[in-house]
Structure 1
Amino acid sequence: MNDELGAPGPPGPPDTDRIAADLLAGFGLLARRVRQVPIKEGLSIPERSALSCLDRSGPTTAAELAREVQITAQAMGATLTALRDRGLVERRRDPDDGRRMVLSVTDAGQRALENKRNERTELLSGVLRGGAFSRTELEQLAAAAPLLERLAKHI
């Protein structure tokens, strides 16, 4: 029998502890490196995250948006103020409940989301184009992106 000869049997379940540790290590390093890139124009990571989430979810309140991206209401307030000051987000009274204010992405905000060209995105894109990754690896990274977003939403 193969088992007596030391041959591996069928693979066991994935080691989720190892996967989690590897993901955290990789995310941490990537986040630190990306944050080192100065932003001259474009959206910061929190601004892009808030704007993208607001675009996907549709008009919502600041508190609901903060819960969705899992940051404090105060941090979201500062981010939304910066986005409103730049004309990328607008506040309006909720048509169903006039006491609430809902936020939505403006046309300028849509254009900012469509314009993926900021220094940090260009840096990552340049690395991805630069030959450090094979075509297969690039396809794996592309397939992993929505999975990573889903992972973040379940935390």
Structure 2
Amino acid sequence: MNEAPSSTPAAPDPRRDTANRLRIAIGAFKRRAQEAAAHGELTNPQLTALSRLDRLGPMTTTGLARREQITPQAMGATVSSLEKLGLVARSADANDARQSILSLTPEGLAAVHSGRNAVSDKVTAILEESFTDAEVEILSVAAPLIERLAELL
């Protein structure tokens, strides 16, 4: 009698499990955050571009696009909308006259640092109402790790 070899299930891979849980959780967070965004507020791409300029300093549209792993054309549309709102300004690149350097205007800096955003307000309220101080601290420690993970994808 030939018995089929017993196949034992592979041991769970904690990294794969974490990757799947992060993918699902971040996707759900992103969808719900988009639903909560109020009309007329800055979009996530706009806020991200402003935040990058604040943290990394002046750079080109291409540099911003590389950091966000999107096309320069897509970032150009975002930057154009930020210029129309008076939140970023262009200046000539001293090293390459074909390029321009983007920097935050005082209004752009204020927009980044105001923290006024319907989604941020909602998340802040949820953190205050439904999470312990210890849980908020864990999320605070995890945030830069998730940012680094996003940059490495």
Please indicate, yes or no, whether the TM-score normalized by the shorter chain is above 0.5. Answer: yes
Name the structure where helix makes up a greater proportion of residues.
2
State the Cα RMSD in Å: 1.7
Distance 2:105 2:41 in 1: 16
Maintained 8 Å contact 1:53/1:69 = no
The alpha carbon displacement at 1:72 in A equals: 1.8
Distance 2:87 2:108 in 1: 4
Which residue matches 1:83? 82
Which residue matches 2:138? 140
Distance 1:97 1:72 in 2: 21
Which residue matches 2:67? 68
Residue 153 in 1 paired to residue 131 in 2?
no
The alpha carbon displacement at 1:44 in A equals: 1.5
What is the SS of the residue equivalent to 1:96?
Answer: coil
Which residue matches 1:22? 21
Maintained 8 Å contact 1:40/1:119 = no
2:79 maps to amino acid: L
The alpha carbon displacement at 1:41 in A equals: 4.3
Residue 124 in 1 paired to residue 117 in 2?
no
Unmatched segments (≥5 aa) in structure 2: 1-12
Q: TM-score, normalised by structure 2?
A: 0.87
Instruction: Report Cα offsets for 1:64-88 as digits up to 9, x if no partner.
Output: 1101111222221111111000110
Percent identical pairs in the alignment equals: 40
1:129 maps to amino acid: E
What is the SS of the residue equivalent to 1:103?
Answer: strand
Instruction: Report Cα offsets for 1:4-24 as digits up to 9, x if no partner.
Output: xxxxxxxxxx71101100000
Distance 2:92 2:106 in 1: 18
Distance 2:26 2:50 in 1: 21
The alpha carbon displacement at 1:113 in A equals: 0.5
Q: TM-score, normalised by structure 1?
A: 0.86
Which residue matches 1:94? 93
Instruction: Report Cα offsets for 1:56-113 as digits up to 9, x if no partner.
Output: 2211111111011112222211111110001100111101222211111111110000
What is the SS of the residue equivalent to 2:36?
Answer: coil
Distance 2:29 2:37 in 1: 15
1:107 maps to amino acid: P
How many equivalent pairs are there? 143
